[in-house]
């Protein structure tokens, strides 16, 4: 579907919202994954893992606020429809995120005998948030249908998203840590790498088999030829990641960034595939972006604000990662 003449603003806001969700999935994805992976058998490892995300995790959630804010202001009817359908999993996700925030602060001040309890709470909050986000994605992808397939697919999506977040979290630890924890993170990453590959294949095949419109979009001529290089790229990424992780730790820690970089590329490819499959619908086969968009004057006013706010968030994010880059050290309060 082409963009209607003189009505480009809804497409721009869709792009801005999609960009915010993508950045959130990558940045908050790894710190959620680190929370999911917290081991029960080593307080020292838990401390280092939480130190690795300490300067970043709270700011990473800014991108989720940005994305939901854009959805509410630019596409209010879609926001109402989506949140109405996802009320319970959204509430559970917020409970998980709140529990993470409370646990992070309390564990730094708690006596040593209580720290493990707050670590468990942080882990539980991370698992609850990732499962909720995956379930929400599954319900969204299936257009909020009340069917056995829709709910089953949503459960599958919750497992796949948790595996994906765990993988990028383990890749983050490979890049940011050293010694025994880095080796342990590589083992976690290898397992999650396999699970995520299986999950992506399963989700793609399920969508193609059970959704005729998406099948026609991908398998019609000439789009079908795009699948060949994409499939080879996925195979290359998953294979080379697995090979690298079997050799961790490398001499002088060379290439420690590679698994995280590949995970980022995989997230981007999956996101672009999802965007292509569902465009121009903002709610699959129910409402398009132009039907859901606010009035043009309102969008133009909001656009001016976004031009100011978005570069500020990007600048702050880049600055914070630049300041705290390098191998993880103990946080001081």
| Tens of pLDDT, residues 251-269 | 888 989 999 999 999 999 9
pTM: 0.90
Q: Concatenated DSSP letters for 225-275?
A: HHHHHHHHHHHHHHHHHHHHHTTPSPGGGTTTTHHHHHHHHHHHHHHHHHH
Mean pLDDT of 225-234: 86
Q: CA angle, corner 35, sides to 29 and 39, nearest 5? A: 140
pLDDT band at residue 49 under the 50/70/90 scheme: very high
For position 286, what pLDDT does the model report? Answer: 85
Domain boundaries, the chain: 9-323
For position 1, what pLDDT does the model report? Answer: 46
pLDDT averaged over every residue in the chain: 88
| Whether pLDDT at 165 is above 60 | yes
Q: If we measure between CA atoms, which residue out of 26, 287, 35 comes closest to residue 164?
A: 26
pLDDT in tens, 60-89: 888 998 899 888 888 988 888 888 889 999
Mean pLDDT of 318-333: 80
| Whether pLDDT at 132 is above 60 | yes
How far is Cα 134 from Cα 159, in angstroms, rounded to an integer? 7
What percentage of residues in the chain have a pLDDT greater than 70?
Answer: 96
Q: Which helix (H) or strand (E) holds 288?
A: strand 287-288
Q: What does the radius of gyration of the chain's CA atoms come to, in whole angstroms?
A: 20
Instruction: Decide: 130 and 38 in contact? Cβ < 8 Å.
Output: no
Question: Hey, what CATH topology would domain 9-323 get?
Answer: Formate dehydrogenase/DMSO reductase fold (1.20.1630)
pLDDT in tens, 212-222: 778 888 777 77
Beta bridge partners of 287: 283
For position 277, what pLDDT does the model report? Answer: 85
């Amino acid at each position: 579907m082409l963009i209607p003449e003189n009505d480009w603003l809804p497409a721009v806001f869709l792009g801005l919202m999609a960009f915010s969700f993508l950045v959130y999935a990558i940045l908050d994805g790894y710190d959620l994954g680190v929370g999911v992976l917290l081991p029960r058998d080593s307080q020292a490892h838990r401390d280092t893992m939480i130190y690795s995300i300490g300067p970043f995790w709270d700011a990473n959630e800014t991108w989720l606020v940005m994305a939901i804010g854009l959805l509410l202001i630019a596409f209010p009817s879609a926001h109402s429809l989506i949140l109405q359908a996802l009320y319970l999993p959204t509430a559970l996700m917020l409970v998980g995120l709140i529990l993470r925030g409370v646990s992070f602060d309390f564990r730094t001040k708690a006596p040593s005998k209580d720290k493990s309890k707050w670590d468990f709470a942080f882990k539980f909050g991370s698992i609850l948030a990732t499962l909720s986000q995956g379930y929400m994605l599954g319900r969204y992808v299936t257009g909020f249908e009340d069917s056995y397939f829709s709910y089953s697919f949503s459960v599958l999506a919750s497992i796949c998203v948790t595996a994906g977040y765990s993988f990028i979290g383990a890749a983050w630890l490979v890049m940011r840590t050293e010694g025994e924890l880095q080796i342990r993170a590589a083992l976690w990453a290898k397992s999650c790498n396999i699970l995520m590959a299986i999950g992506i294949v399963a989700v793609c095949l399920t969508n193609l088999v059970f959704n005729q419109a998406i099948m026609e979009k991908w398998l019609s001529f000439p789009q079908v030829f795009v699948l060949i290089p994409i499939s080879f790229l996925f195979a290359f990424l998953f294979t080379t990641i697995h090979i690298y992780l079997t050799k961790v730790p490398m001499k002088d820690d060379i290439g420690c960034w590679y698994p995280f970089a590949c995970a980022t590329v995989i997230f981007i490819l999956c996101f672009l595939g999802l965007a292509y499959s569902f465009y121009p619908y903002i709610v699959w086969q129910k409402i398009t972006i132009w039907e859901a968009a606010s009035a043009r004057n309102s969008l133009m006013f909001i656009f001016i604000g976004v031009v100011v706010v978005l570069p500020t968030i990007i600048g702050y994010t880049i600055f914070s990662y630049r300041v705290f880059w390098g191998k993880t050290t103990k946080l001081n309060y």
